[in-house]
Amino acid sequence: MEDRAQTLVRKMVPNIYQPYPVSVHGVKEETGDIKTFTLGFKDQEIQNRFTFRPGQFVLVSVFNCGEAPISICSSPTFSKGLQLSIKKMGLLTGEIHRYTEGDEVGLRGPYGNGFPLEQLCGHDLLFVGGGIGLAPLRSLIQYVLSKRSQFGGVTILYGARTPQDIVFKDDLAAWDKEEDVQVTTTVYRDNPTWKGEVGPVTRLLEKATISPSNTKAIICGHPAIISYVVFDLLKMGFAEEDIITTLERNMKCGVGKCGHCSIGSKFTCMHGPVFTYREIKTFPTGF
């Protein structure tokens, strides 16, 4: 016996867990274990409704493997589909690495708060990325470059384990050519052909010319790297609210219900994954 209230629920409440199919349009091998997938919507209407901010993520369904949160690495201004860079880690990511053009995955989102674009406007920007942490930054960097006049100088510092582990090589080269953009890449362990910097990404910070008072720093990478960089930025005189980073958490629902990604009284999927250091400081260790 369905009654009025139930009818209302069925009619008015959309299914927040429903993935819609998207198909793989292109696969680019970034490194030995990272691939960038370009996805195209099957349904024009869904595509039109799908708008996002840099820093947001989607939940990707892979047949028989469940769902995983992946941050969007393309800019909202990029018109040829949605791009996700995925590192091979477990069952789901291993499976999607086997996918080629035409294969379908499920998608829902975008979720999360994204980067605070309004607050970044008019400032110099310092991007510090480590490993695959460059992916969400890429979305923002490309957005910034497409709206160049709204932002100040851009410094991009990127660290990878080895030269083979550098992602978005073409993008890094292209960004470097842009006006008022400085890109420096460093590797932790070099090889004979490597001509760039060697050492941790924090070492690049010392050499960069940055004015902490008018710069917003955006950091993304392995948690240990974030700690180092935050520590150095504070020493340099960055204000706590000018240090922006993303936190990675185990996520299941993406919509603030399942409880997995909780941090303090917040959910990373709803209030994050982008936080300022000032906010992060209020979360007691291990919450």
Instruction: Give residues in contact with another protein (CB under 8 A).
Output: 1-3, 5-6, 8-10, 13-19, 21, 23, 61, 63-68, 89-90, 93, 102-106, 200, 202-203, 223-224, 226-228, 230-231, 234, 247-250, 252-253, 255-260, 262-265, 270, 277, 280-287
Name 168's bridge partners: none
Q: Minimum Å distance from CB 253 to another protein?
A: 6
- Strand order across the 274-276 sheet: 197-198, 181-187, 154-160, 124-130, 215-220, 243-246, 274-276
Nearer to another protein, 3 or 170 (CB): 3
Helix, strand, coil tally for the chain in percent (to 5): 30, 30, 40
- Helical residues (DSSP H) of the chain, grouped into ranges: 4-12, 44-49, 91-96, 117-120, 134-146, 169-177, 201-207, 223-236, 268-271, 277-281
Nearer to another protein, 60 or 141 (CB): 60
3-state secondary structure of 233: helix
20/92 Cα distance (integer angstroms): 17
Q: Are 187 and 194 in contact (CB under 8 A)?
A: yes
Helix axis angle for 134-146 and 169-177, nearest 10°, is: 30
Nearer to another protein, 37 or 143 (CB): 37
Nearer to another protein, 33 or 171 (CB): 33
3-state secondary structure of 214: helix
Q: Minimum Å distance from CB 130 to another protein?
A: 12
The pair of structure tokens assigned to 173 is: 């080269």
Q: Minimum Å distance from CB 109 to another protein?
A: 11
Nearer to another protein, 192 or 284 (CB): 284
Q: Minimum Å distance from CB 232 to another protein?
A: 9
Burial of 49 (0-12, 13-18, 19+ CB in 10 A): exposed
Q: Minimum Å distance from CB 245 to another protein?
A: 9
Q: Which residues of 110-128 are buried (b: 16+ CB within 10 A; e: fewer)?
A: bbbbbbbbeebeebbbbbb
Nearer to another protein, 79 or 265 (CB): 265
Nearer to another protein, 181 or 269 (CB): 269
Q: Minimum Å distance from CB 67 to another protein?
A: 6
Q: Minimum Å distance from CB 251 to another protein?
A: 10
